[in-house]
Amino acid sequence: MIEPTIVWMVHLDRGTPDEIEGTLSADEWELVFTDAASPETARFPFVDIVSVKRVLGSPVFTVGWRRGDETRRTAFYLTRPPPLGTLGSPGGPPNAPDLTVATPFRRSGRWRQRRENTRYLAATAVSLKDRRDALVTQIRTAMKQARGEAS
């Protein structure tokens, strides 16, 4: 089955992305994330997982899963994620103007942060690509077995 692996979990469909460090493992019926800071666990039954996708060029994969009628997405990082707050909308009032001047030679701080985050993920992806791909394959195999499909 899936060997316990240290990951950072980020629920993508919530308002603010927060990374939670923990251990990803699996039993026969579900993917299990155990929070490193508390005894809490997040369980993703294989029959409720609808997709598992690699994020190419990064040590990240996403899991799409159902809870009732709702489909959600969760990302698992195999390395500490870069600062996630800068990827969303900027803080402050919704109609406040962006006071950062961007020119062709000088990008705004948000774009610079995104570029640095992308470089960081690409640099760490090289050493973790095989581990990420193995996890994705194992989860997909477990999904098929849980649904009774041939592998």
Longest CA–CA span in the chain (Å) reads: 57
Backbone angles phi, psi at 47, to 5 degrees: -70, -20
pTM for this predicted structure: 0.75
Domains of the chain: 5-147 (2.30.29.30)
- Could you read off the pLDDT of 2-31 as tens digits, one per residue? 889 999 999 987 766 688 999 999 998 999
Asked if residue 75 lies in contact with residue 55, where contact means CB atoms within 8 angstroms, the answer is yes
- Could you read off the pLDDT of 39-58 as tens digits, one per residue? 899 999 999 999 999 998 88
Length of the chain: 151
Banded model confidence at residue 84, pLDDT cuts 50, 70, 90: low
